[in-house]
Amino acid sequence: MADDLRVRPLTRADHAQWLPLWDGYNAFYGRSGETALDPAITAMTWSRIFDADEPVHGLVAEQDGRLLGLVHYLFHRSTTMIEPICYLQDLFTTEQARGKGVGRALIEAVYDAARAAGASRVYWQTHETNATAMKLYDQVADKSGFLVYRKPL
């Protein structure tokens, strides 16, 4: 990726460019059309990023004034560690930015933020069919071996 790529915190002024990235992320995981997220969830997610009392944070990758990717992460406690843990929840880049270091730059920026917050670990999940992303993930992190179980309530 060009040297002028910049990863920075989201600002309220980014909403118009953030929203298509967010929508693209959700569409990638099948949350579009009839299965789209309720707009209230999108509004709440955006709100939480700017609420100092929330553990949710957002970064964007920007080049020439255009947002190429986003990452959302949050901190939480653990019963097996004293330090907080950082969960990288959402990572998405535009199709044109894939394979050009944007995803890696966003992950590395989360690592930096987690270190600065005193976190002991960064972790994330991806779908087992996300082979393209896993090529990157295998380079920047270790697989934990854990599987995710969930039950909608």
Q: Report pLDDT digits (tens) over 50-81.
A: 999 999 999 999 999 999 999 999 999 999 99
What is the CA 129 to chain-centroid distance, rounded?
Answer: 18
Tokens read off for 98: 């894939």
Tens digit of pLDDT for each residue in 2-48? 579 999 999 999 999 999 999 999 998 888 888 888 999 999 999 99
What's this model's pTM, rounded to 2 decimal places? Answer: 0.93
Tens digit of pLDDT for each residue in 77-106? 999 999 999 999 999 999 999 999 999 999
4 with 62: CB under 8 angstroms?
no
Residue 1 pLDDT greater than 60, yes or no: no
**What pLDDT, on the 0 to 100 scale, is given for residue 3?**
74
For residue 12, the one-letter residue type is R
* Domains present along the chain, CATH in parentheses: 8-140 (3.40.630.30)
β-sheet bridge partners, residue 123: 87
Tens digit of pLDDT for each residue in 103-141? 999 999 999 999 999 999 999 999 999 999 999 999 999
Length of the chain: 153
3-state helix/strand/coil string of the chain: CCCCCEEEECCHHHHHHHHHHHHHHHHHCCCCHHHCCCHHHHHHHHHHHCCCCCCEEEEEEEECCEEEEEEEEEEECCCCCCCCEEEEEEEEECHHHCCCCHHHHHHHHHHHHHHHCCCCEEECCCCCCCHHHHHHHHHHCCCCCCCCCCCCC
**What pLDDT, on the 0 to 100 scale, is given for residue 37?**
87
**73 or 147: whose pLDDT is higher?**
73
**What pLDDT, on the 0 to 100 scale, is given for residue 2?**
59
**What pLDDT, on the 0 to 100 scale, is given for residue 114?**
98
